[in-house]
């Protein structure tokens, strides 16, 4: 049996703008996804996906010759899996040509959280098939690729999308006020592909891209919580104007005393909030039960 593991991800700065070449601060999460493969003499690949509660949430059987679906619990997910396998085979024509087997994937986080169910899968498949994960991403889900960089990273990084090769710079992001940082799940999974498609219609200037990169660098260098909050607010306001929407604090949490910043695809997944020991109580009272401290998410 062979095993492959990848970390989940969070994008702290540069959401959307990273698609246009802005520098973004990305961090690998402590939680990730494991893929196990055991070969056998069959011509079939039996696939099982297990969630963080050890419940089977997807299964399929594929013919290894052309990855046709013989059986599945979800046709849409199976079709996406076939697309990924065909993209793998395009890079490595000998992958799974001779022998089938059984695959089991195990998530360590809730698959609705947006921490990287897809990106960790792409990363694990690339490790298994010895293919380029960024090429695999572009030929399947698409996106900037920052999540692929996080999948095998051991520390925070500055990510910049490049037409040829992504620019990845390891950075020191270990703020002394990290105990004041909380990630709050907004109880809905945002479809990042739809969000990206909508953003691509926007006219973005070089000046806006450069400004995003400056905000990313400034957040990394912030020495105090107050300075950090000021930059978070600037970033949130800046992206809100580009998207033509209200910042999430103004829309949903106007009485919250700390700063709030949207992460990733706005309107879903996680937000970053600054606060204290009362922060969890505030959000849980509002109906948001998943509140994770920075150190729990990323240590």
Average pLDDT over residues 112-135: 95
- pLDDT on residue 3: 98
Burial bucket for residue 112 (CB in 10 Å: 0-12, 13-18, 19+): middle
Domain residue spans of the chain: 2-170, 178-298
Selection from 67, 23, 3 nearest residue 210 by Cα? 23
Rounded alpha-carbon distances, angstroms, from residue 150 to 128, 144, 159, 169 = 17, 12, 9, 11
For the stretch 143-193, pLDDT in tens is 889 999 999 999 999 999 987 789 999 998 999 999 999 999 998 765 566
pLDDT at 266: 66
User: What does CATH list as the number for 178-298?
Assistant: 3.30.70.890
* Phi, psi (deg, nearest 5) at residue 217: -65, -40
Instruction: Note the CATH architecture for domain 2-170.
Output: 2-Layer Sandwich (3.30)
Q: b/e map of 127-149 (b: 16 or more CB within 10 Å)? A: bbbebebbebbebbbebbbbbbb
What pTM did the predictor assign? Answer: 0.93
């Amino acid at each position: 049996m062979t095993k492959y593991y990848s970390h989940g991800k969070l994008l702290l700065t540069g959401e959307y703008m990273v698609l246009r070449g802005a520098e973004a601060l990305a961090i690998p999460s402590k939680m990730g996804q494991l893929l196990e493969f055991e070969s056998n003499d069959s011509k079939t690949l039996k696939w099982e996906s297990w969630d963080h509660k050890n419940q089977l949430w997807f299964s399929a059987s594929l013919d290894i010759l052309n990855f046709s679906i013989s059986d599945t619990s979800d046709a849409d997910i199976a079709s996406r899996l076939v697309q990924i396998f065909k993209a793998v085979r395009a890079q490595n024509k000998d992958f799974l040509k001779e022998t089938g087997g059984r695959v089991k994937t195990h998530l360590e986080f809730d698959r609705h959280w947006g921490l990287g169910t897809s990106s960790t899968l792409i990363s694990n498949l690339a490790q298994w098939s010895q293919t380029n994960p960024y090429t695999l991403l572009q030929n399947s889900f698409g996106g900037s690729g920052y999540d692929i960089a996080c999948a095998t990273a051991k520390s925070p990084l500055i990510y910049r999308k490049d037409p040829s090769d992504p620019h990845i710079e390891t950075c020191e992001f270990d703020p002394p006020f990290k105990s004041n940082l909380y990630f709050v799940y907004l109880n809905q999974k945002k479809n990042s592909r739809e969000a990206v498609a909508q953003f691509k219609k926007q006219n973005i200037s070089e000046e806006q891209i450069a400004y995003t990169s400056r905000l990313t660098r400034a957040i990394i260098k912030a020495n105090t919580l107050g300075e950090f909050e000021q930059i978070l607010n600037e970033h949130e306001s800046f992206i809100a104007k580009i998207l033509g929407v209200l910042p999430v604090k103004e829309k949903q949490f106007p009485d919250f005393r700390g700063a709030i910043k949207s992460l990733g695809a706005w309107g879903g997944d996680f937000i970053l909030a600054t606060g204290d020991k009362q922060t969890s109580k505030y959000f849980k009272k509002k109906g948001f039960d998943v509140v994770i401290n920075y150190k729990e998410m990323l240590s």
